[in-house]
Amino acid sequence: MADLPPWLQPFLDRLAAEDLSAFTRRGYRYDLLRFVAWYTVLYGTPPDLSRLTEHDVIAWRQHMLTLRQYKAATINRRLEAVRRLLRWAEASGIVATNVAAKVRTVRLTRERKPVGLTAAEVHGLLRAAGESSHGLARRNYALVQLMLQTGLRIGEVAALRRADVTLRDRAGTVRVRHGKGLKEREVPLNATARRALRQLFERDPSARPEAPVFRSTRDEPLPVRSIQNTIAALVRRAALTRPGISAHSLRHTFALAWLRQHPGMLVELAQLLGHESLDTTAIYTRASTEDLARGVERMPFNLDG
């Protein structure tokens, strides 16, 4: 887009002042530019915030819902971007009122229980990581183990610094300083994660506290996209052909394994995952299609005759 709206950068600057991560700010920028592109095609001019109406926002929602057929989560995220923009504009005196405040979101369908990796898939992924070339074996192995053993978000892993990791003989923790909602938390490290990180750190024992835990081949912090690409490459190398396996699957694997070993400990899991609401964590307790099918098969009565 040749000319960016004059309000976009001041809004993004405000998000930065609120300490939102660069990844989150890029998401807002992307969603708002999609709105600008749609509005410009429809009206022949970029949106003037002071002239926006509730009808415009509703039309944007309907365009995404009916013509583009986006998922409800995508539509609601983009609506929230416009809503937050106008909230800032109202507070800044650019608009008299937030016309998006009362626009309804799209009702989400009941989400299925997330799917984690099987034991065989975990072993395959770890084997592929440990066999990485170009001197990346220790880094990739520690990366996979940390995500499997702690359930950290990809962005949280990318932001880790050496000072955030504490390793002792029989205990260890990782401090998440930039969790979702700007909340800090500490996550314990089990022996498997500690061993993988210790082996990684042995390669550079004199690293400064502010040094990133995971670095690229150019000795730069490994960004979110590179972590996603690394896991995707390991999935291919391990010949894991089941659809949907991604870096986020490692977080699901941790959560599901936790509940298998600690049934009913949902509050503790929410604390480990950094969830603000138990409703978010409860998705891991839903029965999967396979669980329901097994339950029906075990039903003791026969309705055939």
Does 275 participate in catalysis according to the annotation?
yes
Pair 148, 141: CB distance under 8 Å: no
From 83, 138, 251, 252, active-site residue: 251
From 153, 178, 194, 252, active-site residue: 153
State the angle between helix axes of 8-17 and 22-43 in degrees (0 to 180), rounded to the nearest 10: 160
Angle, alpha carbons 50-55-59 (nearest 5°): 115
Closest by alpha carbon to 62, among 101, 24, 106, 126? 106
- Coil, strand or helix: which one is 161? strand
DSSP annotation of 174: E
The stretches of 44-177 forming alpha helices (DSSP H) are: 54-62, 72-91, 119-130, 137-150, 154-158
From 177, 180, 195, 215, active-site residue: 180
Angle, alpha carbons 182-84-69 (nearest 5°): 105
CA gap 1, 40 in Å, rounded: 11
Name the phi and psi angles at 174, rounded to 5: -125, 130
Name the phi and psi angles at 182, rounded to 5: 60, 30
Pair 21, 154: CB distance under 8 Å: no
Catalytic residues: 153, 180, 248, 251, 275, 284
